[in-house]
Amino acid sequence: MADLKRTVLYDLHIALGGKMVPFAGYEMPVQYPMGVLKEHLHTRAQAGLFDVSHMGQVILRPKSGDAADAARAFEALMPVDVLGLAEGRQRYGLFTNEAGGILDDLMFANRGDHLFVVVNAACKDQDIAHMRAHLSDACVVEEITDRALVALQGPAAEAALARLVPGAAEMTFMQVAILDWQGVDLWISRSGYTGEDGYEISVPDAQARAFCEALLAMEEVAPIGLGARDSLRLEAGMCLYGHDIDTTTSPVEGNLGWAIQKARRAGGAREGGFPGAARILRELAEGPARRRVGLKPEGRAPMREGTQVFAAAESGAPIGAITSGGFGPSIEGPMAMAYLPATLAEGATVYGDVRGKRLPATIVPMPFLPNRFKR
């Protein structure tokens, strides 16, 4: 696999029997010998360890020394309340473009004197260029290239991590902290992308393998590949950038209005002032023409990404398409996300074209499986 990058944990993946595939310019494990289905169920039952070192880690350091200046500049790129985020807390964010489309989704944290940002692997080069282009007056945009990022997810994640880092147990959902493990600073957030309680942990490259091996030595922790990461996030109703959201979808169409806090909405203290504000504020007020919804296909046949969706079983043009779809091991059935006209209510039946047959599916609320975050 020429030209593909490797994370610092590559040798560990090979040693663990990981099946490596190209993903976002990296060679990443799609599964380990346990297999996608069992890895998924293991994460829901115990704890799964994921290498997400391909994602971008960025520090925004205010040139003035005042973190509010970094927050104010960062806020101009997103329809999200950055200034109002308390120290030690993390929040979901979205870069938007002038047309109101989504450039990427991300997580950012207020770490006192600076912001820490985690962006998608496939977008990280353009995201960093975007931040450098727009934030350089106010901030130094520092890409972190000497730290791995891993996620530990599942109901046993707290007990497992607390054995190495006792302070992790005290953290609440979306809290961030820098905690010591054997003299090394771990940058920990209590969050993840599986719908389970868990953590994302940034660890220096030099200690990354030893840290992972210390976790994997525990009975409840298993390595989990990208295959199960996808089915876990889909059951949790979470978007995959480039599939469920992209530059052609607005945050409101993407059903991500919850990520736009009051301060940035009409009548808020810092209303608008982000790229695409005219469209996004209008869609918040009037509702979008189409919206990302959950679909539960009847029967067992999965409806995959790209499946055309119809209003009727027999005739008519497509009304939308599936953006992510597959089989949910925990819900023991197929599930999908699609963009459909906003006039269609939950409970409505639509039809997905599967190999030339229109099969019924019901519009359902997401997540498909209730999340179990540590509130």
Partner 1 sequence: MKYTEDHEWLRVDGDVVVVGITAHASEQLGDVVFVELPEPGTAVSTGDEICVIESVKAASDIRAPLDGEIVEVNGDLADNPGMVNEDPTGKAWFFKMKVADLSALDAMMDEAAYNEMIG
Point out which residues bind partner 1 (CB under 8 A): 30-31, 35-38, 40, 227, 231, 300-302, 304, 326-327, 329, 334, 355
Asked if residues 276 and 97 have their Cβ atoms less than 8 Å apart, the reply is yes
Retrieve residue 195's tokens.
């719908």
DSSP letter at 168 equals G
CB of 197 to partner 1, least distance (A): 24
CB of 180 to partner 1, least distance (A): 39
CB of 209 to partner 1, least distance (A): 27
CB of 228 to partner 1, least distance (A): 8
Give dist(CA 57, CA 204) in Å, integer. 12
Asked if residues 30 and 21 have their Cβ atoms less than 8 Å apart, the reply is yes
H/E stretch holding 141: strand 139-144
Closer residue to partner 1, CB minimum distance, 43 or 202: 43
Query: In angstroms, how far is CA 32 from the centroid of its own chain?
Result: 22
CB of 354 to partner 1, least distance (A): 9
Q: Residue 261: exposed, middle, or buried by beta-carbon count in 10 A (0-12, 13-18, 19+)? A: middle
Of the candidates 322, 152, 311, 326, the residue with the CA atom closest to the CA atom of residue 244: 322
Closer residue to partner 1, CB minimum distance, 35 or 316: 35
Closer residue to partner 1, CB minimum distance, 227 or 237: 227
Give dist(CA 194, CA 371) in Å, integer. 8
Asked if residues 183 and 203 have their Cβ atoms less than 8 Å apart, the reply is no
CB of 300 to partner 1, least distance (A): 5
Closer residue to partner 1, CB minimum distance, 243 or 304: 304
DSSP letter at 230 equals H
Of the candidates 299, 371, 372, 305, the residue with the CA atom closest to the CA atom of residue 332: 299
Q: How many residues does this entry show for the chain?
A: 375
Closer residue to partner 1, CB minimum distance, 56 or 334: 334
Give dist(CA 212, CA 29) in Å, integer. 15
Closer residue to partner 1, CB minimum distance, 5 or 304: 304
Closer residue to partner 1, CB minimum distance, 227 or 254: 227
Amino acid identity of residue 42, one-letter, is: H
CB of 361 to partner 1, least distance (A): 14
CB half-sphere exposure, 1, CA atoms < 13 A: 13
CB of 95 to partner 1, least distance (A): 30
DSSP string, 239-284: --BTTTB-TTS-TTTTT-GGGS-GGGSTTSTT---STTHHHHHHHH
CA distances from residue 319 to 12, 70, 88, 344, 350 in whole angstroms, order as listed: 46, 42, 44, 10, 9
CB of 40 to partner 1, least distance (A): 8
Closer residue to partner 1, CB minimum distance, 31 or 96: 31
Closer residue to partner 1, CB minimum distance, 34 or 259: 34
